[in-house]
C-alpha cells in the first residue's frame, strides 16, 4: 500500500490484515453490499440524530467502502444549518484539510483518484466519519497505511467525534496498535453501533 514494503513484524501483520479485509469487502456481491449498506445507513442516521453535527466530515467511497453520499444528501436537505465536508490530501506529511461539499461542488481527484471539492471553504469537522478496513475490540482502525487520519486527528483541536464506518467483516480482535494510533469513539456496522468512548451517548453498547 502507500507505505511500501513493511519493515517490522507488526507492520507485516498490519499490512496482511489490511489486505485481507479489503479483499473480503471487495468480494461482496453488489446485492450483499447494498443490503449491508442499507443497515449501516439506518444505524448511522440514528447515531447522528443523537449527536447532531454542525460540521460533518465524511469520505468519498473508495474500494467498495460504504457510500455515505445518500445520507449526506438527505441530512443536508433536512437541515440548512448543517455543513458537510470532505478531506483533501495535500502532501503525505501534512494533516488533511477539509473542504465544504454540496452535491453541486466541482470536484477534482487526488493522487489516489479519490474526488474532493476543487475549491471550497476550509472547515473543521465536529463529527468525522472514517472508513475502516479493519477495526478492533478497543476501537483502533486500519486505513490504507498512509497515516493520514492519525496525523489529521492529532492536528484537530478540539478533536471531532470520530465514527468509524465498515462492514462486520472488518471486525478483528486487535490491529496491533502502534503508538501513533488514536482509537475511534464508535464504529457503525450493519450489526449496529460499537461504542468505545464515553463521548458517545448510548443506552446499550450495541443497538
Ligand atoms: N474513501 C476514502 N477517502 C479517503 C481516505 C479513506 O480512507 N477512504 N483517506 C484516509 O486516509 C484519505 C486517502 N488515503 C489513502 C491512503 C492510501 C491509499 C492507497 O495506498 N491506495 C492504493 C494504492 C495507491 C495508488 O493507487 O497509488 C491501495 O489501496 O493499494 C489510498 C488512500 C483521504 N480520502
Ligand atoms: N500523528 C502522526 N505523526 C506523524 N506520523 C504519523 C502519525 N500518525 C501516523 N503516522 C505515520 O503514518 C504511517 C502509517 O500509519 P498507519 O499504518 O496507522 O496508517 P492507517 O491508519 O492505516 O492509514 P490512514 O490513516 O491513511 O487511513 C506510519 O508509518 C506512521 O508512522
In a domain, 35, yes or no: no
Residue 80, in any domain of the structure: yes
Please check whether residue 2 lies inside any domain of the structure: no
Pick the residue whose CA is nearest to atom 20 on ligand 1. Answer: 2
How far apart CA 101 and CA 97 sit, in angstroms, is 13
User: Which pLDDT score, from 0 to 100, does residue 207 have?
Assistant: 47
E-only strand ranges, 21-174: 55-57, 83-88, 97-100, 107-109, 115-117, 122-123, 127-131, 134-135, 141-142, 161-165
The CATH number for 127's domain is: 3.40.50.10420
* % of the chain at pLDDT higher than 70: 94
Domain extent at residue 146: 52-201
152 inside domain: yes
Q: Count how many domains the chain has.
A: 1
Q: Is residue 9 part of a domain?
A: no
Determine if ligand 2 sits within 6 Å of the CB of residue 149. Answer: yes
Q: What residues contact residue 82 under an 8 Å CB cut-off, 6+ apart?
A: 53, 54, 55, 56, 75, 76
Residue 18 assigned ligand-binding role: yes
For ligand 1, the distance from its centroid to the CA atom of residue 187, given in whole angstroms, is 19
> Is 26 part of a structural domain of the chain?
no
Residue 106's closest CA among 96, 119, 122? 119
Residue at grid coordinates 452535491: 103
Instruction: Among 112, 153, 162, name the best residue to mutate to test ligand 1's pocket (greatest count of ligand atoms within 8 A of Cβ).
Output: 112
ipTM of the complex: 0.91
Residues ≥6 apart with Cβ < 8 Å to 7: none
Q: 14: CA distance to ligand 2 center in Å?
A: 12
What percent of the chain has pLDDT above 90?
Answer: 88
Residue 154, in any domain of the structure: yes
How would residue 3 be classed by pLDDT, with cut points 50, 70 and 90?
very low
Coil/strand/helix, residue 99: strand
Distance 120 CA to ligand 2 centre (A): 26
Does residue 39 lie within any of the structural domains? no
Give the model confidence (pLDDT) of 142-181 as tens digits. Answer: 999 999 999 999 999 999 999 999 999 999 999 999 999 9
Which pLDDT score is estimated for 202? 63
Amino acid at each position: 500500500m502507500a507505505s511500501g514494503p513493511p519493515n517490522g513484524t507488526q507492520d507485516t501483520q498490519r499490512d496482511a490484515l489490511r489486505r485481507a479485509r479489503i479483499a473480503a469487502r471487495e468480494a461482496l456481491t453488489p446485492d450483499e453490499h447494498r443490503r449491508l449498506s442499507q443497515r449501516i445507513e439506518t444505524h448511522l442516521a440514528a447515531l447522528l440524530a443523537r449527536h447532531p453535527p454542525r460540521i460533518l466530515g465524511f469520505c468519498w467511497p473508495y474500494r467498495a467502502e460504504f457510500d455515505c453520499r445518500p445520507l449526506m444528501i438527505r441530512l443536508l436537505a433536512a437541515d440548512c444549518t448543517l455543513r458537510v465536508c470532505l478531506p483533501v490530501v495535500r502532501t503525505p506529511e501534512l494533516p488533511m484539510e477539509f473542504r465544504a461539499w454540496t452535491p453541486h461542488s466541482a470536484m477534482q481527484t487526488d493522487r489516489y483518484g479519490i474526488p474532493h471539492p476543487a475549491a471550497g471553504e476550509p472547515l473543521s469537522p465536529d463529527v468525522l466519519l472514517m472508513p475502516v478496513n479493519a477495526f478492533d475490540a478497543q476501537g483502533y482502525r486500519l486505513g490504507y497505511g498512509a497515516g493520514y487520519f492519525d496525523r489529521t486527528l492529532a492536528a484537530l483541536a478540539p478533536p471531532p467525534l470520530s465514527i468509524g464506518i465498515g462492514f462486520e467483516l472488518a471486525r478483528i480482535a486487535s490491529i496491533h496498535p502502534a503508538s501513533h494510533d488514536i482509537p475511534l469513539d464508535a464504529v457503525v456496522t450493519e450489526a449496529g453501533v460499537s461504542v468505545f468512548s464515553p463521548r458517545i451517548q448510548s443506552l446499550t453498547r450495541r443497538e
